[in-house]
Amino acid sequence: MPVFSLDPAQTAWCAELRALARRRLRPLAERGEPGRVNRPLLAELGRLGLLERVFTSSALELCLLRESLAQGCTEAETALALQGLGTYPVVLTGTERQRDRWLPEVCAGRAVAAFALSEPGAGSDAAALTLRAEPDRAGWRLTGEKRWISNAPEADFYTVFARTGPGAAPVTSADGRDSPDPGSASAPTSHAVPDGARRGSRGVTAFLVPADRPGLTGSPLEMLSPHPVGALVLDAVPVTGEDVLGEVGRGFRTAMTTLNLFRPSVGAFAVGMAQAALDAALEHTATRTAFGGPLKDLQSVAHQVAEMATRTEAARLLVYAAACAYDTGAPDVPARSAMAKLYATEAAQYVVDAAVQLHGARALQRGHPLEHLYREVRAPRIYEGATEVQRTIIAKELYG
């Protein structure tokens, strides 16, 4: 069921979130060390009860949360989203012991999570991952490398996806209960992947790996926007059946179900950045004078701002529609999620770039809000499925 407007309670909550982001979260973000996990910021997100909301909210509420935080503090939004991405597989398929150990710590902002799927040769083609889970008497030994992992190497635990074997047989989870099938009618629709990827996805298992396991090392990577991103090296890291998330050989479904939830909210993050850039452009063009009057009186400027506003609103509606489809169990979740992520991230890139152009050189100066947004807006077009991958998903869904 598409949502075309928010009710008064939702509108008030979004306004409160924007205010919290500017007043309480942005100062902590500004004091953080670039490229490092900001634990004081996470602790404040926990005190405010926002981390817990990632796991208890509907998909629409998650989108409102991410969009609102992004308008006031992109670092806070990203820190919250990464906690959700790294921990949601535990919520989805974790054992009671795994949940009891880690969920309270994550929600309080005391434990840092990471989603370790990408590899040097398997980014967008996640089904091509090669990290090996080699059997031994106690369980498995994980050997290989992960790359471009957010919160690495500082996370306290990692959701690691490894290849246990081609077509490994499903088994019950470590506590003896049957894991929920992410492809069942009671769970969100699984992510659509090409036939070759389906074959490559067989035999992938998800493991919950604490950071202190022997053989697990990592190093930070310097990125365009200074977020905590790193590489992991796993050298015969020991794991047992108690570390399995869900079922052996079914980890790829866990990964894709997680991404189906978070892809629309990546779009919401993009919408928040676009709205912040649009607001800055409106203020600037209304007050900046040139050629005898305010910039807004120039038709070329006014039309540019109108286009920015239209793309931002179109992106917002696609995101809300995808989130509502997820919440209602609609059959077209993969296509809607892909459309929302695709359009919103591309629209945000356009809107932020246009806002920079309207501001001129001042927007390129280090410390200007738009300079910050210009660096932040680029990555969402790549992570959690690049734009080109989203188009492939949409086309596959259209052709059935």
Catalytic sites, residue numbers: 384
Which helix (H) or strand (E) element contains residue 55? helix 50-56
Return d(Cα 316, Cα 195) in angstroms, integer. Answer: 32
Distances from the Cα of 236 to the Cα of 175, 242, 342, angstroms: 24, 17, 38
Structure tokens at 52: 């817990």
Q: One-letter amino acid identity for 355?
A: A
Residue with the two structure tokens 């927007």: 363
Return d(Cα 119, Cα 15) in angstroms, integer. Answer: 39
**Count of residues in the chain:** 400
Within its chain, how far is the Cα of 245 from the centroid? 20
- From the list 300, 176, 198, the residue with the least C-alpha distance to 242 is 176
Return d(Cα 226, Cα 213) in angstroms, integer. Answer: 27
Residue 182 backbone dihedrals phi, psi, to 5 degrees: -60, -15
